[in-house]
Amino acid sequence: MPPRTVHRLGAAAVLAATLVGTAACAVGPERATPAGAAPAVSTAAPTASAGAPSASPARVPTTLAFTARTLDGTAFSAAALAGRPVVLWFWAPWCATCASQAWTVAEIAPTYRDTVPIVGVAGLGQQQAMKDFVTEFDLAGTPQLDDRAGTLWRRFKVAEQSTFVIVDRDGRVVHQGFLDGEALTRQVETLARG
């Protein structure tokens, strides 16, 4: 077996063992913003782009009227996603449930990048741990926002990780909560057809 496959199998075994002891990751004392947290995320009308532009300029709903920085420091504007359904995935680098879902996100995100973008919103951890998580689970091809300050978590009223917020093409939140890999895949496939 290639080394990467062996590494993934080992990581999967560790995750499985961790998940047996934990039904879900609850937000605990780690919720406090760590020292050196990222600067606040602007909710003003964004000007930078993120991802592929939609076929025609779409009205930017309030839901997507925010900007942020990715974990690698790139400017991100959710306005560029207007007119398409969007999946926001709120995760923490130490969360076993998030790690198990990362495999599904890494698998389906490239397929639906232009029709149903998946955007990670990393919080509740240190930046290096977040970057390591992205590397470990091959998530570099999917935008991963640095939300150490918790601005987007508060904006979307996310109280625990892993939480998926699904925004339809009109900017309405149509799902907020937990999704396992199969449910996430079904939701994204349905949105892509709609």
pLDDT digits 0-9 by tens, 43-95: 343 333 444 444 456 689 999 999 999 999 999 999 999 999 999 999 999 99
pLDDT digits 0-9 by tens, 93-149: 999 999 999 999 999 999 999 999 999 999 999 999 999 999 999 998 899 999 999
Domain ranges of the chain: 3-193
Classify domain 3-193 at the CATH superfamily level.
Glutaredoxin (3.40.30.10)
> What gap in Å lies between CA 106 and CA 113, rounded to an integer?
11
Report the predicted TM-score, pTM, of the whole model to 2 decimal places.
0.74
